[in-house]
Amino acid sequence: MSWRRKVFALVSIFFVIPTNAELTSNELKMFEDLATYVKSLEWKLNKVEKKLANVENELEGQKEINRKLENELDAQRMILDSLRTNNDKLKQSVDIMEKQNESMEHFLKQITRFGDVEVNENMTKKNVRKNIQQRAGDQNTMRVARQEREQVAFSAYLNRDLSNLGPGHTIQYGATVLNEGNAFNVNTGIFTVPVSGVYLFSFACEDQHNHRIYADILVDGTRKSLVLEGPAQAHSMGTNVVILRLTKGQAVWVAIDAGGHDELLQNSATTFSGAFLYY
């Protein structure tokens, strides 16, 4: 008899037999068997529950292992990304070295071709290197000299009042705050172009009386720009800026224009500045 039938029979007896009725020996035996079977089922159920608990613990442990593996995998991915980045940088360094090597080979071919360094079978690598370094030193000297030529800038100001100004009068400023390259003559007020290229010039005129003054910036006597100052009851000032392409040896200065002039030009704010920009 299966345990389902035993349980059904026990329940049937429980509902059929009166509570004060005495049980037969067969019925008692059935109850005892059923109680023993229920205990067996309880024992099996406990065993199954323990196994289930063990499985759940193993599952949690496996989840923890999986989390650790995922963390390790992320770390490995980061290392791989770092290696890829370093590999790209290494490739760039190799490309730069190859270009430098090509430049050196080209340089060697050029100096050998034009006889700057005489190379023969009896020369050692040390001698070749020495000649190359000497050549490089000469080029560096030329580069420094070129940079020195490019350092051209000046800023002059009028250090006294000027009066009785007539047409064409060159403004002789008399003082500078900067004169790199020494291309500006502080006494004559003339800037002589030391190297061909593009230059920027600014000039300003100031007066505190009721006067009117026109001033020109001239290149070899040809007007390139104009500034107007006054008249006014108080201080008045005129300024202008011009950019010019000039040739070495040309002269640049500021002079009173014939179109409008008066008798006084004041100091300090009357300025003339210029700077080399590029070739």
Cβ 246 vs Cβ 201: under 8 Å:
no
133 and 245 belong to one structural domain: no
- In the predicted model, is pLDDT for residue 112 greater than 60? no
pLDDT at residue 142, rounded to an integer? 56
Please report the pLDDT score of residue 123 as a whole number: 53
Amino acid at 19: T
Residue 79 and residue 5 in one domain: yes
Question: Buried b vs exposed e over 152-190: b needs ≥16 C-beta within 10 Å?
Answer: bbbbbbbeeebeebeeebebbbeebeebebebbbbeebb
Q: Is the pLDDT of residue 158 over 60?
A: yes
129 and 175 belong to one structural domain: no
Q: Is residue 133 domain-shared with residue 48, that is, in the same domain? A: no
Average pLDDT, the chain: 80
DSSP secondary structure string for all residues of 209-251: SS--EEEEEEETTEEEEEEEE---SS-EEEEEEEEEEE-TT-E
Domain boundary residue, one of 150, 174, 204: 150
Does one domain contain both 123 and 205? Answer: no
Give the model's pLDDT for residue 156: 96
Closest by CA position to 247, among listed 220, 209, 216? 220
Same domain assignment for residues 91 and 136: no
211 shares a domain with 187: yes
Domain boundary among 127, 150, 173: 150
134 and 159 in a single domain? The answer is no
Structural domain harbouring 7: 1-116
Q: Do 163 and 64 share a structural domain?
A: no
Listed in order, strand segments (DSSP E) in the chain are 153-158, 162-163, 174-180, 184-185, 190-192, 197-207, 213-219, 222-229, 236-246, 251-256, 264-265, 271-278
Q: Express each pLDDT in 56-108 by its tens digit.
A: 888 888 888 888 888 888 888 888 888 888 888 888 888 888 888 787 777 76
What pLDDT does 175 receive?
95
pTM of the model: 0.48
Looking at the 3D structure of the chain, how many domains does it have? 3
**pLDDT tens digit string along 169-215?**
899 999 999 999 999 999 999 999 999 999 999 999 887 666 778 89
Average pLDDT over residues 21-28: 73
Which pLDDT does position 191 carry in this prediction? 98
Residues 206, 259, single domain; the answer is yes
Q: Which residues contact 235 (CB under 8 A, 6 or more apart)?
A: 206, 207, 208
Residues 72 and 83 in one domain: yes
pLDDT reading at 138 higher than 60 = no
Tell whether 179 and 254 lie within a shared domain. Answer: yes
